Amino acid sequence: MKKRQTDLKEALNKPKPIDEILTEQIDMAMHEHNRSNQDLFLSAISAGLDIGFSVFLMAVIYTLFHDIVPPSVLHVLLAWAYPLGFIFVVVGKSELFTEHTTLAVIPVLNKNATIKSLMILWGIVYAGNLLGGYVFSVILAVLPSAFEVIDPMALHELAQKLIDFPWHIILLSGLLAGWLMGLLSWLVTSAQETMSRIMIIALITSVIGIGGLHHSIVGSIEVFTAVLTSDAINLKDYAHVQIWSTLGNIIGGVVFVAFVKFSHVNTRHKHIVDD
């Protein structure tokens, strides 16, 4: 019995082979490609709702500390609040668009799924995430007037940090965020324990937060909430951020993770088989 427990412990601590990670990624993605559109949409709405807690926590922290701590310290506190919603979504296995910009592409590269299937999956997950986020934005817009847990200025400031950039900067920022989310998807698959996965999620998404990078789903909630609560931010601002951050997230996830990882891992796998 003790030997069996020791062997199990060693297996859990041992890193997965890279070929096994690729196989798991393909299997996971194919499950989503074959899932019913209704189930996929409901799971995506759940993810859009859950990830809103990142914005909620950041707004509360801003409200509590913006007059007390230096701006640099406040920035770090907000960055460490950023991962909360991602932990809920990834560990809870809801469908998040910026994970699927990498995950859902790999079966297409491996010729297990079609581009049409990819476009349908992306469209359903993206729409569900946005819808869930809009609902959460409405809740955030109501909270300040109900009780003083969030200062409306906090919502404005969070959004303003995303808006004040030209399109190409938002695109590049979104590219980096999509790249990081693709790595998150890959590394979470490589981890075998829940605590390891939580640490990976917290580490990677806090980089997005501390870097002020544009994430199309979290950013949608931040800016749309400000549209509802601030006269200084409008739907044109929202569209400007949303379009370019989404495109950047797609490029970052597809090109810098899905294509690169698949290319070098698949080549290595072929060499092993040939040998």
Which residue ranges make up each domain of the chain?
17-268
Asked if 4 and 90 count as a contact pair (C-beta separation under 8 A), the reply is no
CA distance 2 to 237: 61
- Domain 17-268: what homologous superfamily? Glycerol uptake facilitator protein. (1.20.1080.10)
Residues in contact with 240: Cβ distance below 8 Å, sequence separation at least 6, in sequence order: 163, 167, 170
* DSSP 8-class letter at 17: P
Supply the pLDDT for residue 84. Answer: 97
pLDDT in tens, 179-221: 999 999 888 988 878 899 999 999 999 999 999 999 999 999 9
CA distance 233 to 275: 60
Q: Which position has the token pair 């913006």?
A: 66
Of residues 16 and 94, more confidently modeled: 94
Overall pTM surpassing 0.85 (yes/no): yes
Q: Which amino acid is at 177?
A: A
If we measure between CA atoms, which residue out of 29, 49, 89, 74 comes closest to residue 261? 29
Residues in contact with 84: Cβ distance below 8 Å, sequence separation at least 6, in sequence order: 53, 54, 57
pLDDT in tens, 30-78: 988 999 999 999 999 999 999 999 999 999 999 999 999 999 999 999 9
If we measure between CA atoms, which residue out of 242, 123, 257, 272 comes closest to residue 190? 257
Structure tokens at 180: 């990081």
Q: CA angle, corner 29, sides to 45 and 202, nearest 5? A: 65
Supply the pLDDT for residue 266. Answer: 64
